[in-house]
Amino acid sequence: MRSSTRLIACGVFRPALEHLRVEERYPRLCLTYLPSNLHLRPQVLRRRLSETIISAKQRKERILCLYGACFPDIDVFCRQQGVTKVPGLHCFEMLLGSKQYENIINEMPGTYFLERDLILNFDEYCLEPLELHDKEMRKSFFEHYQRIIYLRQPSDPDLLPKANELATFLQLSLEIRDADYSHLKKILNDLF
């Protein structure tokens, strides 16, 4: 008999899960957050997930994985590990809800999304690895984008100045959309 449920989540979801008070709502839930920048190193992410899963299995915990498609075949990986992956391709889809995310993409396919963690760590996650300080590299990566959507979460500090700075740097228009956790809340309710 399993004693609890282990939710392994990307650190991007910490503000949402704290806002939803999942630890209060599900008293037998244990959370493990992995660093959000692991999607930049898919093999390291796979290894860290595997290590966390092994540890949870040793404690006989039921295991849920809250990640998008952050490395190839993550869904297959989770099935092979006997882990339930929360449905969704992107963290932005899970934070907005599938319908709102689809509407945004359909209205303007060239949309680049930012959330708190990416805004605060843009230099480390994007600028340096993609060499965006070089104008030609910036053009190469962002020429098909038309706008940035900053997905603002309730616990965010005032990131509008930094989001504006990034939009100016990337030469894209900026829009702000507020996260809608109702989709994520429903998915978690369905899993418990």
DSSP string, the chain: ----EEEEEEGGGHHHHHHTTHHHH-TTEEEEEE-GGGGGSHHHHHHHHHHHHHHHHHTT-EEEEE--S-STTHHHHHHHHT-EEPS-S-HHHHHH-HHHHHHHHHH-S-EEEE-HHHHHTHIIIIITTTTTTSHHHHHHHHTT--EEEEEE-TT----HHHHHHHHHHHT-EEEEEE--THHHHHHHHHH-
Binning pLDDT at 50, 70 and 90, where does residue 43 land?
very high
Instruction: Return the pLDDT at 40.
Output: 87
Above 90 in pLDDT, residue 3?
no
| Average pLDDT over the chain, rounded to an integer | 93
Give the pLDDT confidence of 19-30 residue by residue, as tens digits: 999 999 988 899
Binning pLDDT at 50, 70 and 90, where does residue 1 land?
very low
- The structure's pTM equals 0.89
Above 60 in pLDDT, residue 2?
no
Instruction: Return the pLDDT at 89.
Output: 87
Give the pLDDT confidence of 126-154 residue by residue, as tens digits: 999 999 999 999 999 999 999 999 999 99
